[in-house]
Amino acid sequence: MNKSKLLRDLLHRPGPVLVTGAHDAMSAKLIEEAGFDGIWASGFGISAAQRCLPDANYMTMTENLEIAKNMNEVVHIPVIADCDNGYGNALNVMRTVAQYEKAGIAGISIEDNIFPKKCSFYPGFKRELVSLEEMEGRIRAGKSAQGGSDFVLIARTEALIAGWGMEEALKRGRAFARAGADAVLIHSKSRAPDEVIQFAKSWDQNIPLVVVPTIFDSISADELHEAGFKVIIFANQLIRSCIRSMREMLGELRQKKYAGAVNDHLVTLEEVYKLVGVDEMKQAEDTFLPVSGNDVKAIIVNAGFEKHLMPLIEDRPKGMLDIKGKTILERQIEVLNACDIKDISVVRGYRSEAIRVPNLRYYENPDYEESYILSSFFCASPQIQDRVLFLYGDILFDRVVLEKLLQSSADISLVVDLAWYDAHRQGAIPEGLERELVMMEEPPQATYRYLPSEENHRILKIGQNLDRRSAHGEFIGMAMFSPTASQVFIQEYERLKKEDPGGPFHEAPSLKKASLTDMIQELVDRGFPVKGVDIYKGWMEVDTFEDYQRAWAQSK
């Protein structure tokens, strides 16, 4: 975006151009937010706020440029930089123009003060201006140094400030216009606006006038515009209001000595987050950084005894079955670790002593024969807080499956394999095979070529007894809960336990014998949104001897 062009467009637009002085990036952003047309990178404000120094050319051109750049980076409106006297003679002005233009600053103002200058309002200092010829040279040099045609050079005369009179002020203004200035700034320290109004009345050049109503502060921008001014700069009101509000808050804090005492003076933390773009940062992180599960607690259930796998699991639970030199549990941990999930708990039950993998946290379900998956997960209830990954102990899965789940921002996300849908329609899944199936709000498309959507699908029903014709996919035994959902999960489970009449719970004969899916159906029924993260293959369950053989054959 060419900000100089933007500024030129503003100069040609009807009505006054309202510009306000900033002293850093945040003040510039606030000026834009308030609806002003442009930013004045104020020499007075920058030297006060950035160095706590007088406005007297103590800061170098590069120091000032750096601050103006900071402002320009965070706003879309044009920045006009106050470049004092151009930091020297015509040669210095040339470099100043070139550098500011290159940095994308829309325009600069240079004044006819000598170098070093003093702020126009400091009392008790002798005011000296450079000769008209010297100033004409600065303007011509500046215009010759710009690369494009849009950069705006404002020439400012301090003739009225220095007491050189209206005639000299007009003579200088006209000469500046003839030397190539794009606008003229007439400055005044008179309490009444009469001087600048008189100047504007006599103005007979074809370039716009700029005014800074600091001392003559009772005239409005509209009145100044009517008098002939195009650009009105409120140069230092913002830095002065900052000093006042900082002082007031600090005085009260020092006196009362507790943070909450000054809340009335403060914006919320959220307002600061919004201002600096924390939401945008999160979005970029989600889009571009590799997903990380370092804030996730994983709970793996490995408690059950499954008779049909005997004698394979005679001396160990299913998760400790070896597949080419690594157990299922070790393979799961490998993938979890690869996604930065290091906080892993395992719920043991059957042949508990056979699970002795280091660096894991262990919980026991001694009642594993009389209970089921949901009870087992709750044996690790101290871990059900923050972001939690619930994982069945008998699945092998590709890293991308877990990565996709970690990317989900839903409160409750379940990994759903859509390959089941196709396999079922092709008659490839024998009747009677127990599968935890899901029905979703937006079913997958029944077409040969199908791109799983980036959108998560809301789950309506989940369980083994779902009518297969209405099921859309299979829950693979991997679910992730947000901190809020983890809390809800615990609360609901405690409530159910307390109110448990002992009868069936969804598909289970009792709450104690419930699967995770029964609890999820309960949350769905209670109106809690549960989303399916869809995948297409990329995982495997070890449920039967045949599964185990297949896992051997396919694993690396």
Among residues 24, 32, 82, 436, the one that binds Mg ion under rule CB under 5 A: 82
- Within 8 A by CB and 6+ apart from 202, the residues are 166, 170
Q: Is 21 in the site for Mg ion (CB under 5 A)?
A: no
> CA 152, CA 40: separation in Å to the nearest integer?
13
110 φ/ψ angles, rounded to the nearest 5 degrees: -125, 145
Please list the residues that pair with 81 across neighbouring strands: 41, 108
> CA 99, CA 79: separation in Å to the nearest integer?
14
> CA 310, CA 548: separation in Å to the nearest integer?
12
Sign of torsion over alpha carbons 383, 389, 392, 393: negative
Residue 40 CB, shortest distance to ligand SPV, in Å, is: 6
Q: Is 234 in the site for ligand SPV (CB under 6 A)?
A: no
SS3 content of the chain, % helix, strand, coil (to 5): 40, 20, 40
Q: Please, what is the end-to-end C-alpha distance for the chain in angstroms?
A: 53
Residue 212 CB, shortest distance to ligand SPV, in Å, is: 5
> CA 380, CA 359: separation in Å to the nearest integer?
16
> CA 83, CA 107: separation in Å to the nearest integer?
10
Total binding residues toward ligand SPV, as defined by CB under 6 A: 13
Hey, what are 100's tokens?
């500011």
Partner in contact with 120, chosen from Mg ion, ligand SPV, none, beta carbon below 5 to 8 Å by kind:
ligand SPV
Partner in contact with 376, chosen from ligand SPV, Mg ion, none, beta carbon below 5 to 8 Å by kind:
none
Catalytic site residue from 9, 24, 37, 55: 55
Residue type, 505: F
Closest to ligand SPV by CB, 212 or 414: 212
Q: Is 20 in the site for ligand SPV (CB under 6 A)?
A: no
Please list the residues that pair with 485 across neighbouring strands: none
Residue 214 CB, shortest distance to ligand SPV, in Å, is: 4
Partner in contact with 542, chosen from Mg ion, ligand SPV, none, beta carbon below 5 to 8 Å by kind:
none
Closest to ligand SPV by CB, 235 or 530: 235
The answer to whether 322 is a known catalytic residue is no
Q: Is 55 in the site for ligand SPV (CB under 6 A)?
A: yes
Residue 384 CB, shortest distance to ligand SPV, in Å, is: 58
Among residues 4, 20, 92, 120, the one that binds ligand SPV under rule CB under 6 A: 120
Partner in contact with 212, chosen from ligand SPV, Mg ion, none, beta carbon below 5 to 8 Å by kind:
ligand SPV
Within a 13 Å sphere around the CA of 527, how many CA atoms are in the beta-carbon half? Answer: 0
Map residues 78-117 to x or -, x wherever contact with ligand SPV holds by CB under 6 A: ----x-----------------------------------
Tell me which residue has tokens 């979005």.
Answer: 283
Quote the longest CA-to-CA distance of the chain.
Answer: 109
Hey, what are 552's tokens?
């051997």
Partner in contact with 463, chosen from ligand SPV, Mg ion, none, beta carbon below 5 to 8 Å by kind:
none
- Report cis status (omega within 30 of 0) of the bond before 116: yes
Q: Is 444 in the site for Mg ion (CB under 5 A)?
A: no
Closest to Mg ion by CB, 122 or 273: 122
Residue 187 CB, shortest distance to ligand SPV, in Å, is: 6
Tell me which residue has tokens 């009792």.
Answer: 510
Partner in contact with 107, chosen from ligand SPV, Mg ion, none, beta carbon below 5 to 8 Å by kind:
none
Closest to ligand SPV by CB, 37 or 541: 37
CA angle 95, 96, 100 (to 5 degrees): 115
Q: Is 43 in the site for Mg ion (CB under 5 A)?
A: yes
Which residues form the interface with ligand SPV (CB under 6 A)? Answer: 21, 42-45, 55, 82, 119-120, 212, 214, 235-236
Which residues form the interface with Mg ion (CB under 5 A)? Answer: 43, 82
Active-site residues: which are they?
55
